Structure 1
């Protein structure tokens, strides 16, 4: 099934490891086959992995972007997810953690990444952070 990306002027995204930037007008791209695509807003630099949920997100993002080398990021994910789950009591969030782990086991890296976004949202909500302060 094709993936349609609608891009804002100047918006960047990663496509199979290459950073691509849109020109000065809105445009749409249609990807006809499977590719690793990550929009600029979902790309996290290692220095931005500065909270427990973000520590979980970063290795999952790396697995998604480097599927061939995913195993080298798995131990970091496992350690960070274990730390995160040890301090969470919310059953729904714990369920999301399990779902993320299952997605990784079936190599559904993008699905796991979007689950990690939910962990970040939960964490930000609990810490009183807004989108602009994170």
Structure 2
């Protein structure tokens, strides 16, 4: 099944490591084969890695974007996930961490990124005092 992407004017995305920018008008891309694709809003810059959950997201994102160097980023992921899991006790967060780890082990990096975003939301709620 093809992936259909609607791009806003000037929106950027990364496809298999190549940065692609849309022109001045809205455009639609259809990707017919498997590719590593991240929209600009999902790309985290190194200077944005400022919380424990973001320290998990970042190496997973790099594994997804650079399949040839996954081993390079895997050790960082394991370290950051271990640190995070040793500091939390909330069952739903632990379940998310286990799910992320399982997806990374299965090389389902995009699914892991989706769960990392949920983990970042959990972290933000905790830091802001919400439950």
**Structure 2: distance between partners of 1:44 and 1:14:** 12
Q: Post-superposition shift, 1:32?
A: 0.2
Q: How does 1:14-25 map to 2 (within 5 A)?
A: 14-25=14-25
Matched residue SS, 1:25:
coil
Number of matched pairs? 129
Unmatched 5+ residue regions in structure 2? none
The equivalent of 2:10 in structure 1 is 10
TM-aligned CA deviation for residue 128 of structure 1: 2.1
Map 1:52-131; keep pairs closer than 5 Å: 52-128=52-128
Per-residue deviation, 1:83 = 0.6
Secondary structure at the counterpart of residue 28 of structure 2 = strand
Equivalents in 1 of 2:12, 2:126: separation in Å?
30
Deviation at 1:125, TM superposition (A): 1.4
RMSD: 1.1
* TM-score, length of structure 1 as denominator length: 0.93
Q: TM-score, normalization: structure 2? A: 0.95
Alpha-carbon offset, residue 35 of structure 1: 0.4
- The C-alpha deviation readout for 1:67-122, integer Å capped at 9, x for no partner, is 12101100100000011111111101100100111101111010111111111111
Partner secondary structure for residue 101 of structure 2: helix
